[in-house]
Structure 1
Amino acid sequence: MKQRVLTGVIAGAGFLSLIIIGGWPFAVLMFAIATIGTAELLKMKHIPILSAKGFIGIVFMWILLVPDNFALLDWIPLHRTELFLLLIVLLLGLTVLSKNKFSFDDAGFTVLTSVYVGFGFHYFMFARFVEDGLLLIFLILILVWATDSGAYFAGRKFGKHKLAPSISPKKTVEGSAGGVMLALAIGSLYTLFFPFFDTWALSLAFMIVVSLTGQVGDLIESAFKRHYAVKDSGNVLPGHGGILDRFDSLIFVMPVVFLLGFF
């Protein structure tokens, strides 16, 4: 427990500091975290990060991760989407060149991993760089953390009906509801001091979406780990597991709130 608390305090302080600083320091942190997260998923599939197929997976993710306002791909005469499609073609060709040691299933896993992690952290950066992005990021973090805490305590106190027993046996419907309620309570208090949306109805809709999709993101990561029979996605954070264990909710929330037009 002492190690868990110490890791949480140090990592949390550093993470929040770089979010506040923004700019290149924040972008570099996102690239590092996303790269580790991708490596964790590839490892579940027994794809070594220090291999041609592991490197391709990382490159896929980087292409999707690069913020739109960072001119890192200007020297390549292809649009981001065209480059991504080109790499998919090359990845499928690798299944032939490797004589199916790198299978179609491996190729599909690599592509989906890059989309899941790459777009998740891409829109996390996107949200930070919009107007009042710092207020938005903190609101999302508060909602996700409040949901986790509310679900944990409500589940322990009132939990009776299993939410997704085949994926995460300890999660309950009552815990899920408690998570949403605490997120709404703390999120409402936050928006009283830092109003981000024009109307209360829009703020309420945003808080509900973030809380619910955050829980779905957590279940997605649990499904990965159960399918590949691993307890944690990694061990980069002593006492907390891997990067994806800490960011599973966030990287699912961010694309969803973008697609729904909240940014």
Structure 2
Amino acid sequence: MPSTAQPAPAPPKKSAGRDLGAAIGVGVGLGAVIVASLFVVKAVFIGVIAVAVVVGLWELTSRLAEQKAIKAPLVPLAVGGAAMVVAGYVRGVEGAWVAMALTALAVLVWRMTEPPEGYLKDVTAGVFAAFYIPFLATFVALMLTADDGAWRVLTFLLLAVVSDTGAYAVGWRFGRHKLAPRISPGKTREGLLGAVGFAMVAGALCLEFLIDDGTWWQGLLLGLAVAASATLGDLGESMIKRDLGIKDMGTLLPGHGGIMDRLDSLLPTAPVVWLLLVIFVGSG
């Protein structure tokens, strides 16, 4: 009697969960714009940072309003956020702090034009947004003020991208043990080790060949710090998105989500790279 047993189904293939082709195309396009502005006219690159900050603020405040009925005032945040980046570039750390304080004050005053119900949660979210996006982004502008500022910013961007790539590649291929399943189920401990390894190698190369007076061992430490801060930044935004009940902050970038879905690892990494480069080779 012929067997009626059905062949076992093939195991499902691992998927990145996004349109990889679109993600690569958008990533390459953004990278070309950023690098071109960075090495042609520094002021244009500052404009790129300011635009990214304003769009990121719009995404975050929109999601807060939609999912939690929190109305963080966008106008003072956008104006103050762009001013914060410019102030950091022109006046240094002191300028960034002054602009941050004035932005927070503007948020408090602007929200007074509406009924008092929800005032505290709205202004708290507004001050958080001002710190989380434009203030942290200002450290990229601070890097740019050094004599080799363009190379410092390029090192920062390369290490963040390499860390993310290492985490994805190693985690996708070898990931077995979850890193923080309640926050980001896709992240694994193996992926974190991949981020650390890739970033440390890239850091050693960047500090040796791109940064004036840098050495390879400083690059190893820088790469380790970037892998840690980028991972924490990614987990931090995942925590925000889980609280909001959304997958992405926006849909502006095909294959990536929104601007904030690309800035999540960059924002907390910027002050880390700025500080370590100042310690290692000076403010330039």
User: 1:8 matched to which residue of 2?
Assistant: 27
Aligned counterparts of 2:159 and 2:134: Cα–Cα separation in 1: 22
2:84 aligned partner: 64
Partner in structure 2 of residue 130 of structure 1: 146
- Compute the displacement of 1:193 (Å): 2.8
Q: Percent identity?
A: 30
**Alpha-carbon distance, 1:130 to partner:** 1.1
Q: 1:26 to 1:198 in 2, by over 3 A?
A: closer
Equivalent position to 1:173, from 163, 180, 189: 189
Gap regions ≥5 residues in structure 1:
72-78
* Preserved CA contact (<8 Å) 1:22 1:128: no
* In structure 2, C-alpha distance between the alignment counterparts of 1:120 and 1:231, rounded to whole Å: 23
- Helix, strand or coil for the counterpart of 1:66? helix
1:35-94: CA deviations, max 9, x gaps? Answer: 0011111111117xxx992212223323432234537xxxxxxx7656654554554456
Matched, 1:54 2:54: no
Query: Taking structure 1 as reference, are residues 22 and 211 closer, same or farther at Cα in structure 2, changes over 3 Å only?
Result: farther
Q: With a CA cutoff of 8 Å and minimum separation of 6, indicate the structure with the bigger relative contact order.
A: 1
Aligned residue pair count: 253
In the alignment, structure 1 residue 160 sits paired with structure 2 residue 160:
no
Question: Which shifted more, 60-69 or 111-120?
Answer: 60-69
* C-alpha displacement of 1:97: 5.0
TM-score (norm 1): 0.84
What's the secondary structure of 1:67's corresponding residue? Answer: helix
* Alignment deviations for residues 182-239 of structure 1 (CA, whole Å, 9 cap, x no partner): 1112332333433445444333222211121111111111111111112111122122
State the alpha-carbon separation in 2 of the partners of residues 236 and 138 from structure 1.
24
Distance 1:93 1:67, change over 3 A: closer
Contact 1:64–1:115 (8 Å) recurs in 2: no
- Relative to the length of structure 2, the TM-score reads 0.78
Give the 5 Å matches for 1:115-126: 115-126=131-142
Whether contact under 8 Å (1:218, 1:249) holds in the other structure is yes
Range 189-198 or range 206-215, more displaced:
189-198
The alpha-carbon distance between structure 1 residues 174 and 6, as it changes in their structure 2 partners (threshold 3 A), is closer
- Superimposed CA distance per residue, residues 77-117 of structure 1 (whole angstroms, 9 cap, x where no aligned partner): xx765665455455445666533344211111111111111
| Candidates 15, 29, 44, aligned match of 2:48 | 29
Partner of 1:143: 159
Residue of structure 2 in register with 1:214 after alignment: 230
CA distance in structure 2 between the partners assigned to 1:100 and 1:115 by the alignment: 23
Q: Secondary structure of the residue that 1:163 maps to in structure 2?
A: strand
- Aligned counterpart, 1:109: 125
AA matched with 2:64: K
RMSD: 2.6
What residue identity is the alignment partner of 1:111?
Answer: V
**Rg larger in 1 or in 2?**
2
Residues in 1 aligned to 2:85 and 2:278: alpha-carbon distance in whole angstroms: 20
Q: Which moved further from structure 2: 244-253 or 187-196?
A: 187-196
Secondary structure of residue in 1 paired with 2:264: helix
Gaps of 5+ in 2: 1-19, 280-284
Query: CA-to-partner distance for each residue in 1:124-178, whole Å, 9 max, x for gaps?
Result: 1111221211221222222111111111121123222211111101101111011
